[in-house]
Amino acid sequence: MNDTTKIIIVDDHQIYREGLKLAAGNIKGVSVIGVASNGIELLDLLQKNTPDIILMDIEMPEMNGIEASRRVKSLYPDIKIIAITMFDEIEYMASIIDAGVNCFLLKNTTREELERAIKTVLEGKLLFPIHLSKISNLKNFNIMKTSKILLVDDDIDIITTLETILTKKGYNVITANNKVEGMKKIKEEKPDMAILDVMMTTQYEGFEMAKEINDDKSLDDMPVLMLTSIDVLITSNTDLQKMVRDFRKNPGFKDLHVLLVKDIVSGKAGIDYLSENNKSIWFPVSGFIRKPVESSKILPEIEKILQN
């Protein structure tokens, strides 16, 4: 946030309002330009001051946060809204989303989480960090996923396309252009999964990064989806590594630098590639998406991987 980000805080509890004002005011580049105790006061305030972001309480007298958000979005569509909620208010979440909010935060949020939310909505992204399993029993409720996904690709067009597709579905997207930057983002951001291109700085950099993720026990088996134009061998053999080794004995396959295999029954997938010293390297991955990427194919694959 290079320029000053102007914020208005709306909450009917004075102590919490003042605490939130203090927390937001301590974030570099943020200026709290006003406070209100309900939606009516907010609309009056907006006639004199136009913020970049509104931190909006949901349960308030006279005009609650849902109706206030709806009116703000109608009158000032460029203003971003971060809804501040309690766990016992999640039953209203579908209505809050319909009102046009850009982010949910719990009332016990940390300053770091608030700063991240402000940065995310300013980038035009959606952020829903509430633990959605709490509302899994709500009927007819369809909500955007909150998972954080790392995209690693040196092609800016592919990054832009994928980021647009995933952001529209509510995923929190972070990006990198190579293996070094990608591993750094993994350590810092702790994404729920990674989507990796194969050819970047080197021919097999994506494979090398996928193997490094797979070998790092601290990453807790983080799923990896590979972007590739290489054909995938489909099999019903559950022992994928043995299958690949058998393929390598076949004169028609032993010189192939890359073998991608997937068990059509279990969904398990893996990669075997020849290193620079002609050593066969094997490791499992979560799946493959063929380039050019289509939203109708990648979104169901991501959802399936994250549900496992």
Contacts of residue 49, Cβ cutoff 8 Å, sequence gap at least 6: 6, 8, 33, 34
Terminal Cα-to-Cα distance of the chain (whole angstroms): 36
**Range list of β-strands (E), 135-223:** 148-152, 172-176, 193-197
Side-chain-side CA neighbours of 113 within 13 Å: the count stands at 15
pLDDT in tens, 211-248: 999 999 998 789 999 999 888 888 887 788 888 888 77
Q: Can you give the pLDDT at residue 166?
A: 87
Name 23's bridge partners: none
Q: Can you give the pLDDT at residue 254?
A: 60
pLDDT in tens, 133-183: 444 444 333 434 457 899 999 999 999 999 888 887 778 889 999 999 999
Averaged over 181-195, what is the pLDDT? 93
Give the span between the Cα atoms of 186 and 219, in whole angstroms: 9
Helices (H) and strands (E) in the chain, counts: 10, 14
Domains of the chain plus CATH, in order, are 5-135 (3.40.50.2300), 148-307 (3.40.50.2300)
Cα dist. 23→102, 110, 126 in Å? 20, 9, 21
DSSP state, 293? P
Which helix H or strand E contains 259, and what residues bound it? Answer: strand 258-263
Q: Given pLDDT bands bounded at 50, 70 and 90, which one contains residue 33?
A: very high
278-282: long-range contacts (C-beta < 8 A, 24 or more apart)? Answer: 280/244, 280/245, 280/248, 281/207, 281/211, 282/241, 282/244
SS3 119: helix
pLDDT at 193 over 70: yes
178 with 201: CB under 8 angstroms?
yes
Q: Give the global pTM.
A: 0.55
Give the span between the Cα atoms of 283 and 206, in whole angstroms: 12
Q: Which two tokens stand for residue 158?
A: 């592919």
